[in-house]
C-alpha cells in the first residue's frame, strides 16, 4: 500500500471527510459516482408517478403541497448531480446514461400510481424508506455527498409527513376512502421493502462500502428499522400491512416479517416492471422538449461573454 492510500485510510478511520480534490482510490470514486448518480436519477424519475397527480389533487391545499413536494425532488436530483460532478463525471454523461437506459434508478418508480391514496402511500412509505437510507448518508465519508444529504433529509421528512397526513385523512373518511388507503398500502408496502436492496448475503457492494464508511448500516439493518417504525404508524391509521408473517419477536426485540419476492425485484431491474418503458419515454420526451431552452441558454451565455469581451 502506498503512502497516498495509507493517508486516505487514516482519514476514513479518523472520521474525516474526503473532499473533491483529495486523493482517493479509483474504486472509491467509481462507487460514489455510481451511487450518487443513481440517487440523482431516482429523484428525477421519482417526480413522474406523483407529477401525474398534481392536476387531479382533491383540493387546492393538497395540490400546492404535492406541487412543492415534486419540485423538492427535482431540486434533490440537481443537487445530487452537482455532488457527482465533483468526482469528475459530466452532467451530460450522467443524463445520457439515464436516457439511454444504461444507468439504474430506484426500481420503486417503475410501479404506477393509480389512485389518490397512492400519493399518501408513496409519501409515507417510499419517502419513509428513502429517509432511512439518507439519514445514514448524512454521515457518509465523502464530504459533498454528506452535506447534500443534510438538506435533502429535512425536505424528505416533510414529504413523509405529508404522505402520512393524506392517509390519516382518508382513514378517517368514508368506507370507500378507507379501502382506497388500504389498497394503496397493500400495493406499496413490499416494493418499499425492496428499496433497501438485496439482503446482506446477496449484496455485492455492501462490504466495501461499509469499510469505506460510504454506508453506515447494511441493507437488512435499515430494512428492519423501517419495518419496526412502520408497524406502530399503521396501527394509528387503523389499517394494516399486507404481511401475515409480521409479528413482534420479543427475543430479537424486532418485528419478524415475511419473505420478499426477489424475482419481482430482479425482473423490474432488468427493465420489465409495469412502467419502465413509460418512465424512460417520459424522461426522453422532457429532454427533447427542453432542447430549445438549452440552446437559448447557451446562446445567451455566449452573447453575454462576447459583449463583456468587447467592452473590455
- For the bound state, the minimum distance from the C-beta of residue 263 to Fe ion, rounded and expressed in Å, comes to 28
Q: What is the DSSP string of the chain?
A: --HHHHHHHHHHHTTPPB-TTS---HHHHHHHHHHHHHHHHHHHHTHHHHHTTGGG-SSHHHHHHHHHHHHHHHHHHHHHHHHHHTTT--HHHHHHHHHTT-S---GGGGS---STHHHHHIIIIIHHHHHHHHHHHTT-SBHHHHHHHHHHHHHHHHHHHHHHHHHHHHHTS-HHHHHHHHHHHHHHHHHHHHTT-S-TTT-SSHHHHHHTTS-SS-HHHHHHHHHHHHHHHHHHHT---S-TT-EEETTTTEEE-----HHHHHHIIIIISTTHHHHHHHHHHHHHHTHHHHHHHHHHHHHHHHHHHHH-
- For the bound state, the minimum distance from the C-beta of residue 162 to Fe ion, rounded and expressed in Å, comes to 9
Q: Which stretch binds Fe ion (CB under 5 A): 70-78, 93-101, 241-249, 290-298?
A: 70-78
The count of chain residues that interact with Fe ion, using the rule CB under 5 A, is 6
Q: Which is nearer to Fe ion, 149 or 227 (CB)?
A: 149
- For the bound state, the minimum distance from the C-beta of residue 116 to Fe ion, rounded and expressed in Å, comes to 18
Q: Which stretch binds Fe ion (CB under 5 A): 125-133, 141-149, 181-189, 258-266?
A: 125-133
- For the bound state, the minimum distance from the C-beta of residue 135 to Fe ion, rounded and expressed in Å, comes to 13
Residue 39 found at the interface with Fe ion (CB under 5 A): no
Residue 73 found at the interface with Fe ion (CB under 5 A): yes
Q: State how far the Cα of 116 lies from the Cα of 120, in Å rounded to an integer.
A: 7
Q: Which is nearer to Fe ion, 67 or 210 (CB)?
A: 67
User: Among 127, 191, 215, 265, which residue sits at the site for Fe ion (rule: CB under 5 A)?
Assistant: 127
User: Among 39, 62, 159, 178, which residue sits at the site for Fe ion (rule: CB under 5 A)?
Assistant: 159
User: Among 39, 76, 187, 215, which residue sits at the site for Fe ion (rule: CB under 5 A)?
Assistant: 76
- For the bound state, the minimum distance from the C-beta of residue 163 to Fe ion, rounded and expressed in Å, comes to 9
Q: Which is nearer to Fe ion, 85 or 127 (CB)?
A: 127
Mark residues 104-123: x for contact with Fe ion by CB under 5 A, - for none.
--------------------
Q: Which is nearer to Fe ion, 131 or 214 (CB)?
A: 131
Q: Which is nearer to Fe ion, 159 or 215 (CB)?
A: 159
Residue 41 found at the interface with Fe ion (CB under 5 A): no
- Binding residues among 87-106 for Fe ion as defined by CB under 5 A: none
Give me 260's grid cell: 420478499
Q: State how far the Cα of 193 lies from the Cα of 243, in Å rounded to an integer.
A: 12
Positions that interact with Fe ion (CB under 5 A): 43, 73, 76, 127, 156, 159
Amino acid at each position: 500500500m502506498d503512502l497516498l492510500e495509507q493517508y486516505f485510510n487514516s482519514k476514513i478511520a479518523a472520521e474525516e471527510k474526503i473532499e473533491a480534490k483529495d486523493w482517493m482510490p479509483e474504486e472509491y470514486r467509481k462507487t460514489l459516482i455510481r451511487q450518487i448518480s443513481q440517487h440523482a436519477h431516482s429523484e428525477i424519475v421519482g417526480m413522474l408517478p406523483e407529477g401525474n397527480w398534481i392536476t387531479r389533487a382533491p383540493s387546492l391545499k393538497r395540490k400546492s403541497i404535492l406541487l412543492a413536494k415534486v419540485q423538492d425532488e427535482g431540486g434533490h436530483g440537481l443537487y445530487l448531480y452537482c455532488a457527482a460532478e465533483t468526482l469528475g463525471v459530466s452532467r451530460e454523461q450522467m443524463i445520457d446514461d439515464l436516457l439511454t437506459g444504461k444507468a439504474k434508478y430506484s426500481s420503486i418508480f417503475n410501479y404506477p400510481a393509480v389512485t389518490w391514496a397512492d400519493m399518501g402511500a408513496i409519501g409515507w412509505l417510499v419517502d419513509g424508506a428513502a429517509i432511512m437510507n439518507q439519514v445514514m448518508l448524512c454521515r457518509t465519508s465523502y464530504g459533498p455527498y454528506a452535506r447534500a444529504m443534510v438538506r435533502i433529509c429535512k425536505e424528505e421528512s416533510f414529504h413523509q409527513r405529508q404522505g402520512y397526513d393524506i392517509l390519516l385523512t382518508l382513514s378517517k373518511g368514508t368506507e370507500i376512502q378507507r379501502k382506497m388507503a388500504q389498497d394503496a398500502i397493500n400495493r406499496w408496502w413490499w416494493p418499499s421493502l425492496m428499496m433497501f436492496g438485496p439482503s446482506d448475503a446477496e449484496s455485492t457492494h455492501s462490504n466495501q462500502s461499509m469499510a469505506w464508511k460510504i454506508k453506515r448500516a447494511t441493507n437488512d439493518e435499515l430494512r428492519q428499522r423501517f419495518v419496526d417504525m412502520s408497524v406502530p404508524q399503521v396501527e394509528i391509521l387503523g389499517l394494516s400491512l399486507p404481511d401475515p408473517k409480521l409479528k413482534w419477536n420479543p427475543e430479537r426485540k424486532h418485528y419478524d416479517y415475511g419473505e420478499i419476492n426477489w424475482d419481482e425485484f430482479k425482473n423490474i431491474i432488468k427493465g420489465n416492471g409495469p412502467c419502465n418503458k413509460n418512465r424512460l419515454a417520459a424522461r426522453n420526451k422532457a429532454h427533447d422538449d427542453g432542447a430549445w431552452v438549452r440552446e437559448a441558454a447557451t446562446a445567451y451565455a455566449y452573447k453575454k461573454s462576447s459583449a463583456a469581451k468587447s467592452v473590455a
